[in-house]
A and B are shown apart, each in its own frame.
Chain A
Amino acid sequence: MMDVFYNLGLGFAVALTLKNVFFCFVGCLIGTLVGVLPGVGPVATISILLPVTLALDPTGALIMLAGIYYGAQYGGSTTAILVNIPGEATAVVTAIDGHEMAKQGKAGVALGLAAIGSFIAGTIATIVIAALGVPMTKMGLLFGPTEYFSLMVMGLVFAVVLAHGSLTKAVAMILVGVLLSCVGADMETGRERMSFGLHMLTDGIEFVVLAMGIFGFAEIFKNLADPEKRDLVKGSIGRLWPTLRELRENIGAILRGTGIGAILGVLPGNGAILGPFASYAAEKRISKRPQDFGKGVPQAVSGPESANNAGAQTSFIPLLTLGLPPNAVMALMVGAMMIQGIVPGPQVIDRNPELFWGLIASMWIGNLMLVIINLPLIGLWVKLLSVPYRLLFPAIVAFCCIGLFSISNDAAQVMMAGVLGLVGFALYKLQFEAAPLALGFVLGRLLEEKLRQALIISDGSMMTFVSSPLSAFLLAIGAVALCFAVLPSIRKSREDVFKDA
Chain B
Amino acid sequence: MSHETSGGPTPPLASSFFLGREQLAGLSLIGFGLFALYASADLPFFTQGGVGSGLMPRSLAVLIVFLGIVQLVLTWRQPAESTGRWPIRDMMPVLIGIFLFAVTIRGFDFGAFRIPVLGMLVATPLSIICSGLAAKDVRPVELTIFAITLTAICIGLFRYALAQPLPVAPWLIGY
Direct contact of A and B (CB under 8 A): yes
Interface residues of A (CB under 8 A from B): 30, 33-34, 37, 40, 44-45, 48-49, 84, 100, 103, 165-166, 168-169, 171-172, 175-176, 178-179, 182, 186, 188-189, 191, 193-194, 196, 214-215, 217-221, 224-227, 229, 231, 294-295, 388-391, 393-395, 397-399, 401-402, 405-406, 409, 411-412, 414-415, 417-418, 421-422, 424-435, 447-448, 451-452, 455-456, 459-460
Q: Is B122 an interface residue, CB under 8 A from the partner? A: no
Cβ of B120: which chain A residues have Cβ within 8 Å of it? Answer: 402
How many angstroms between the C-alpha atoms of A418 and B24 in the bound complex? 23
A-B contact pairs, 25 of them (CB 8 A): A165-B2, A168-B74, A171-B67, A175-B64, A182-B60, A194-B40, A218-B1, A221-B91, A224-B90, A226-B84, A227-B136, A390-B135, A393-B132, A397-B98, A398-B124, A398-B128, A398-B131, A405-B105, A409-B106, A418-B99, A429-B83, A430-B28, A430-B83, A455-B50, A460-B49
Contact with A along B51-84 (1 / 0, CB 8 A): 1011011001101100110110010000000011
Looking at the assembled complex, report how far the CB atom of A40 sits from the nearest CB atom of chain B, in whole angstroms: 6
User: Are A217 and B83 touching (Cβ within 8 A)?
Assistant: no
Residues of B near any A CB (own CB < 8 A)? 1-8, 21-22, 24-25, 28-29, 32, 36, 39-40, 43, 47, 49-51, 53-54, 56-57, 60-61, 63-64, 67-68, 70-71, 74, 83-87, 90-91, 94-95, 97-99, 101-103, 105-106, 108, 120, 123-124, 127-129, 131-132, 134-139, 142-143, 146-147, 150, 154, 157-158, 161-166
**A402 CA / B153 CA spacing, docked (Å):** 12
Closest to B38 in A: A194
User: Can you name the residue of chain A whose Cβ is closest to the Cβ of B46?
Assistant: A460
Q: Verify B50–A452 contact, CB threshold 8 A.
A: yes
Judge whether B71 and A165 touch: CB under 8 Å: no
Interface of B is mostly: helix
CB distance from B48 to the nearest CB of A (A): 9
Asked if residues B102 and A179 are in contact (CB atoms below 8 Å), the reply is no
> Do the beta carbons of B67 and A214 come within 8 Å of each other?
no
CA distance A196 to B41 in the complex (A): 12
Q: Given known contacts A397-B97, A429-B86, is B51 in contact with A40 (CB within 8 Å)?
A: no
Question: In whole angstroms, what is the CA distance A290 to B113 when docked?
Answer: 57
> In the complex the two chains form, is A182's CB within 8 Å of B128's CB?
no
Compute how far the CA of A108 lies from the CA of B98 in the bound complex, rounded to whole angstroms: 31
Chain A binding site: helix, strand, loop or mixed by DSSP?
helix
Select which of A84, A165, A231, A401 is within 8 A of B127 by beta carbon.
A401
B100 to chain A, nearest CB (A): 9
A231 touches B6 (CB 8 A): yes
Q: Are the CB atoms of B147 and A394 closer together than 8 Å? A: yes
Q: How far is the CA of A431 from the CA of B10 in the complex (A)?
A: 12
Set of chain A residues within 8 Å of B142, measured between Cβ atoms: 391
Q: Which residues of A contact B6 (CB under 8 A)?
A: 103, 229, 231
Contact A405 B64 (CB under 8 A): no
Chain A residues lying within 8 Å of B25, measured Cβ to Cβ, are: 169, 430-432
A81 to chain B, nearest CB (A): 15
**B73's closest neighbor in chain A, by CB?**
A168
Q: CA A399 – CA B150 in complex, angstroms?
A: 10
B105 surroundings in chain A (CB, below 8 A): 401, 405, 411, 414
Total of A-B residue pairs, C-beta within 8 Å:
236
Query: Pick the contact of B138 from A226, A294, A390, A398 — CB < 8 Å?
Result: A390
B contact residues around A398 at 8 Å (CB): 101, 124, 127-128, 131, 150, 154
- Assuming the contacts A397-B128, A406-B164, asked whether A451 and B95 have C-beta atoms less than 8 A apart, the reply is no
- Say how far B64's CB is from chain A's closest CB, in angstroms: 5
In whole angstroms, how far apart are the Cα atoms of A130 and B23 in the complex? 56
Contact status of A224 and B139, CB under 8 A, knowing A168-B71, A172-B67? no
A40 to B40, CA, bound (A): 32
On whether the beta carbons of A431 and B4 are closer than 8 Å, the reply is: yes
Contact A394:B129 (CB < 8 A) given known A179-B57, A215-B1, A415-B98: yes
CA distance A393 to B93 in the complex (A): 12
Which residues of A are found within 8 Å of B132, using beta-carbon distances?
A: 390-391, 393-394
For B95, the chain A residues whose CB sits under 8 A away are 418, 421-422
Does B67 lie within 8 Å of A433, measured CB to CB? no
**Docked-complex contact B108 and A168, CB < 8 angstroms:** no
Chain B min CB distance to A103 (Å)? 8
Interfacial chain A residues near B90, Cβ < 8 Å = 224-225
